[in-house]
Amino acid sequence: MKIKVTYKPSYGMARYYPACDKAQALADLMGVKTFTPAYMKQIQQALGAEVLVSFPDVPGFEAPLVTLDI
């Protein structure tokens, strides 16, 4: 499954906003409007989803989400 999100920092925190129907459905099921980095890690690992991230400052650019195990 592929989902698309948009990265936007908010008050110094990383936030990922749903950018496709699947991501919006997942957010609705979770009862959230945005995803945190911890949520994104769980979505990738537990659900095996491929996450593509876009950035509002760079139109048309999408990159796979990379999570680090620290």
- Sheet-wide strand order for 50-55: 13-18, 2-10, 50-55, 58-64
Listing DSSP states for 9-51 in one string gives EETTEEEEEE-SHHHHHHHHHHT-SSB-HHHHHHHHHHH--EE
Whether the CB-CB separation of 31 and 55 falls below 8 Å is answered with: no
Task: Give the pLDDT score at 3.
Answer: 93
Q: If pLDDT is split at 50, 70 and 90, which confidence band does 70 have?
A: low
> How do residues 26-49 score in pLDDT, each as one tens digit?
999 999 999 998 899 899 889 888
pTM assigned to the model: 0.84
> How do residues 43-63 score in pLDDT, each as one tens digit?
988 988 899 999 988 888 888
Q: Does pLDDT of 4 surpass 70?
A: yes
